[in-house]
Structure 1
Amino acid sequence: MTDSDTITGLLVSALEHAWAAIRSRHPDVPDVVLTMGSGSAGGNLTLGHFVPNRWIRGEYELRELFVGGEGLQRGAVDVLGTLLHEAAHGVALTRDIKDTSRQGRWHNERFRGIGEELGLTLTHNPKLGWSLTAVPDDTQRLYRDELDELAFALVAYRRREPERRGGRKSNNNGLSAECGCGRKLRISRSAFDVGGIRCEVCDELFEPSET
């Protein structure tokens, strides 16, 4: 390793090259400002995020791509999966498609469609929607060079922040549920477990938002 090939330099270069490769195959993926840091602040683990209009360059607003340092230990394939996942959010922004709700936590069917277009396999999570990301063999072969560079660069990862004890206690006031358009209701757990409750406005099921 030369003086210029620092751990940070290797990581940033590999991530930027992978993002550029994704953009070359999918023109609706926007340019971004790449940032890295802690993804475990507050107790939850964030592998990555895509946020519009977070950076300013003169008169222009730029998008942010964040990659959590803790997630780097998962290896090159899963890190590529994170990049493709966030690229799908970027495509939704470019096409003016509402792909999430609940402050970006719930991933709907429109996000699933874009993710599959970018080469991902997506699995449904009862709390987050179509958010669980996997990179199938065909996509791995397509990004073989980028995966090799990522594997070479992933020589370190960030230790997860220690969990804080205490915090908010659960209550006995039932379960709060939210649909895709943000409407909320509170219902007992036993009544909710009888069967799905569908919103007539957005046609999506109410899903638990807290207990």
Structure 2
Amino acid sequence: MSTTQTPPVLAAELAQAWADIQRYHSELPDLAAPESLIGESSSACGHELSFERLLHEAVHGIAAARGIRDTSRAGRYHNRRFLAIAEELGLDHPEEPHPSSGFSLVTLSPEAKRRYRPTIERLQRALRAHTAATSSDTTRTFRGPAARHGSSGGGVRVKAVCDCGRNVRVVPSVLAQAPIVCGGCGKPFRIPEVAGAA
């Protein structure tokens, strides 16, 4: 079995896990680009990909759907509005906010662990397979921007656009793995041709 299939499989598992969350929280918007979570890290939203981090991202999705500003300081500080939605989704939190990231350090409650147990187990298997594949063959597998370009990952994202004019910043190799589809118009994002390029 080719290890190059692992990223699409992981993307599919992420999309399925997101759909499992939507079964309990119908106002959660669709996850337009599960590939964008692979290999990414955020000091505010959690360093590694897991179901816990996915549920954290779902809190932001519901906040966006409700028109609630759940962060400040360029998205680093997670406020009490974030916290209220996190509690709805089954996330526990520290008593006091962190000075720079607020209530971002949420964890799965025992109830959420029970509710999503099959989902968590399935995603963990996919993540383990992805990690094994990307650490064994650095020339043929996707490794994420930090692994390829050093921890800073500076300058690796470019603007990708869709037909309705929306845009996202994306690592070109992530876009090459599978299409990232716009939730607005349903068309794939693409990197525009640079004028004068061959």
Shared fold per TM-score greater than 0.5 = yes
| TM-score, normalisation: structure 2 | 0.59
Matched with 1:206 is none
- Provide the rounded CA distance (Å) in 1 between the counterparts of 2:68 and 2:112: 24
1:113 to 60, 84, 91: 84
2:60 to 75, 89, 100: 89
Check if 1:46 corresponds to 2:17.
no
What is the Cα deviation at residue 148 of structure 1? 1.8
| TM-score, normalisation: structure 1 | 0.55
1:133 to 88, 101, 106: 106
RMSD between aligned alpha carbons?
2.7
Check if 1:80 corresponds to 2:51.
yes
Counterpart secondary structure, 1:126? coil
Check if 1:27 corresponds to 2:1.
no
More helix by share: 2
Residue 141 of structure 1 aligns to which amino acid in structure 2?
A: R
- Greater length-normalized contact order (CA 8 Å, ≥ 6 residues apart): 2
What is the Cα deviation at residue 118 of structure 1? 0.3
* Count of residue correspondences: 133
**Rg (Cα) greater in structure:** 1
- Provide the rounded CA distance (Å) in 2 between the counterparts of 1:83 and 1:48: 13
Check if 1:156 corresponds to 2:126.
no
- Provide the rounded CA distance (Å) in 2 between the counterparts of 1:23 and 1:47: 25
**What is the identity percentage for the equivalent residue pairs of Structure 1 and Structure 2?**
36
Structure 2 unaligned spans of 5+? 132-142, 153-198
Structure 1 unaligned spans of 5+? 40-44, 50-67, 73-78, 165-211
More strand by share: 1
Check if 1:103 corresponds to 2:99.
no
